[in-house]
Amino acid sequence: MVVGGGPGPGGVPPARARGVFTNTVFGFIMAYTYIALWDERPQLGGYDTSQALTYVWLGQALLMSSALMGGGFESELVERIRTGDIAVDLYRPVDLQLWWLAADLGRAAFHLLGRGVVPMFLGALAFDLAFPGSLWTWPAFLLSVFLGVVVSFAIRYLVAMSAFWLLDGAGAMRMAMLAGLFFSGMLLPLNLFPGLLGEVARALPWSSLLQVPADVFLGKHTGWGLTQAYVFQAGWALVLLAAGRLLQTAATRRVVVQGG
């Protein structure tokens, strides 16, 4: 949605320009924080300073695409559940889950290009980033991003479906947002988490949103390790999509029982 009228100079909507500016500012703040941290602890988490800085800007590039802070379809879907408009959606000749998945994939692609490329480019101008040495890494990275977006959708769809029972999904969405920020590695790479916490964090589905794609980009997953990373992401996607389908089926029965 464009706020404040039509497109600004050069045809760029003001809201998108503000989003790019915000991502870039936070990227610089986090980058200098990481520099201070890595100056004290070189090779922290298995990353050198250049890789750590690259991780920062990948986080900013994927922030909106992977909906690490929410802000995707879930607010609209929760509102439709709250108002009862969801009854109309459930009886349309299209699958509800696939409908929202298609829309969310389009949203993710738009944000990857509209809010991801520019901050990454500006970060590359200001810092020495570790870009892939092989061209094959780029499609491997994009496939990992795609799988991460599907996992993100599946999590947020589950949260939205909970509104059938909670009636107000605001609390669940906030909890999901906090979990996404922490367990995706947005605040700090999950490789830095100590002991059992790190093992659990890396095993949770949120790691598919940023940590796994970032490690693919940085060349941490190659060969059989890359296949394992894809299997991890695809496995969580299938499990969570199936759980969402089960909740959708239960919700459909609930609507029929209540509405007759």
Digit-coded pLDDT (tens) for 110-122: 999 988 899 999 9
Write out residues in the chain with pLDDT < 50, as ranges: 1-11, 256-260
The pTM is what?
Answer: 0.89
Please tell me the predicted confidence (pLDDT) of residue 18.
82
Instruction: State the average pLDDT for the chain.
Output: 88
Note the pLDDT tens digit of each residue in 84-139: 888 888 778 888 999 999 999 999 999 999 888 999 999 999 999 999 989 999 99
**Cα–Cα distance between 71 and 252 in angstroms, integer?**
25
